[in-house]
Structure 1
Amino acid sequence: MADRRKLAAGNWKMNGTAAALSEVTALAGSQGEARCEILLCPPATLVERMAREAEGTNIAVGGQDCHAAESGAHTGDISARMLKDAGATYVITGHSERRADHGESDEIVRHKTEAAWAEGLTVIVCVGETLSEREASNTIDIIKGQLAGSIPDQATGHNLVVAYEPVWAIGTGKVPTTDQIGEVHDVIRSQLERRFGPGVGRSVRLLYGGSVKAANAAEIFAVENVDGALVGGASLKADDFGGIIAALDG
């Protein structure tokens, strides 16, 4: 649909120090006329500085995760309120690395998403299957379960983005076929429409993530119901990410 603005989101993961902020300036310079929305999610130590660097540009800044609580005895965690205070307008929840490395369940992801919405942040909720689940032909059931358990009832096209990231494709160089990507994105769209109604269900942007790079971006973006990408390593450098943005704009 024409009213779903394309989104190129970069997840820097645990990469980047102050020196990397020059990439924001470079990206703004090369992609200042981009029609799609551009988002960078750096490590928490850089959120405030990146938000300042991006001020006045077309680049939004987000967090990579947040705690479900507003504050409290949660050493090492960061709340949605803190991210907003630092200048973030987005946050990622439910990334497979959080689910796997920190044992985050759908319920935890849902609570984090609710906390982020309470602070006015737009949330990118991640879903995706492992290689064993794909090989066992369980992909669709896994995706449906994660959608049902991770997304709260208050979803709208403004506060929610869904990213499909097959775990086996993240950082491996392996990419599902366009038919496989299309199948899952179609299922996500239909599930959202069924649960939230066609208005909301059709307005939520769906991103693909998993070894996206400039060389394969155009083919992926041509798939129906793919409204952009959640990009890992290829978002760390302005030149690499710029090629993906150009493909999305094209």
Structure 2
Amino acid sequence: MRKALFLGNWKMHHTILETKSYFEKFLRLLLKHNFSDRTVGIAPPFTSLFYVHSLLKETPVKLCAQNAHFEEKGPFTGEISPLMLKELEVEYVILGHSERRHLFGEGDELIQRRVEGVYRAGLVPILCVGETLNERKEGKTFERVETQLKKGLAGLKEINPERIVIAYEPVWAIGTGVNATPSQAEEVHNFIRGLLEELYDEERAKRIRILYGGSVTPENVNELMREPNIDGVLVGGASLDPEKFFKICSINL
């Protein structure tokens, strides 16, 4: 049984003062409930990680990071190593997000090195894959997703399936308000599950969680989560509002 995973990606939003206000509201809502059947996490900006770490102590909310370098240390100006994140008890790291790929030019080889470095450090990499609108129109969705997935996981031959997460994020649905339909998302999630079986084996493929990301809201999350191969959601804009993100995290499973 795969435990549902709800992760909020704040991207470049929320100062420390805004973060304090956010968690006052979010934790007040969340801690009234026993969510033992799901995992909830938030990825704030790097400048807030230390502060958020202090807020999340004694809570079930997992601390996540939005990226990481592949080396433990070195002359890499502006980068953050997996060991630095581990020191702050970060558990999940988002890698290969479409914004990193398309806005900052990160290719499959670099993302693969990041995935391997994060995994080897004992953190959980969340490998993001997804096609552009043109690729979908040209019928290249599966081709693009397969390339990104196989190259991204190329350095991990033997894995603990509980320590790998895949996130399918169609680029055309991120921040646009246009969401893939549940059937469109499930079609790709099922395809990814088959690829994971090819890479590893059926048993491990069944245990790896595959998230959906792309304009997830309290209004569409229920339908998405009814699909058999959607194991959770990676939430962008809606996670910036504590009440909206709580509604997403608290749906009936």
Which category describes the TM-score, using the shorter chain as reference length? over 0.9
- SS of the equivalent of 1:194 reads helix
Question: 1:143 and 1:242 mapped to 2: Cα distance?
Answer: 30
The residue type paired with residue 194 of structure 1 is E
Segments of 4+ moved more than 4 angstroms? none
Match of 1:37 in 2: 39
Matches within 5 A, 1:117-136: 117-136=119-138
> Structure 1 residue 153: deviation in Å?
2.1
Question: 2:160 and 2:147 mapped to 1: Cα distance?
Answer: 19
Say yes or no: does 1:171 pair with 2:175: yes
Question: 1:37 and 1:175 mapped to 2: Cα distance?
Answer: 23
Question: 2:184 and 2:160 mapped to 1: Cα distance?
Answer: 26
- SS of the equivalent of 2:122 reads coil
Match of 1:14 in 2: 12
Q: Please list every run of 5 or more consecutive structure 1 residues that lacks an aligned counterpart in the other structure.
A: none
- SS of the equivalent of 1:214 reads coil
Aligned equivalent of 1:50, options 40, 49, 52: 52
> Structure 1 residue 51: deviation in Å?
1.2
Match of 1:4 in 2: 2
> Structure 1 residue 177: deviation in Å?
1.7
Match of 2:143 in 1: 141
TM score, norm. by length of structure 1: 0.95
Q: Percent identity?
A: 38
Q: Please list every run of 5 or more consecutive structure 2 residues that lacks an aligned counterpart in the other structure.
A: none
Question: 1:120 and 1:24 mapped to 2: Cα distance?
Answer: 27
The residue type paired with residue 4 of structure 2 is K
Deviation by residue 1:68-124 (Cα, 9 ceiling, x = unmatched):
121111111111111111221111110000011221111111111111112110111
**Kept after mapping to 2: 8 A contact 1:51/1:60:** no
Say yes or no: does 1:153 pair with 2:157: yes
- SS of the equivalent of 2:115 reads helix
Deviation by residue 1:57-77 (Cα, 9 ceiling, x = unmatched):
110001100011211111111
Match of 1:86 in 2: 88
Aligned equivalent of 1:229, options 227, 233, 239: 233
Question: 1:43 and 1:102 mapped to 2: Cα distance?
Answer: 17
Question: 1:157 and 1:189 mapped to 2: Cα distance?
Answer: 12
Match of 1:28 in 2: 27
Give the CA RMSD over aligned residues: 1.1
> Structure 1 residue 38: deviation in Å?
0.3
Question: 1:114 and 1:185 mapped to 2: Cα distance?
Answer: 22
Question: 1:21 and 1:208 mapped to 2: Cα distance?
Answer: 28
Say yes or no: does 1:200 pair with 2:204: yes
TM score, norm. by length of structure 2: 0.94
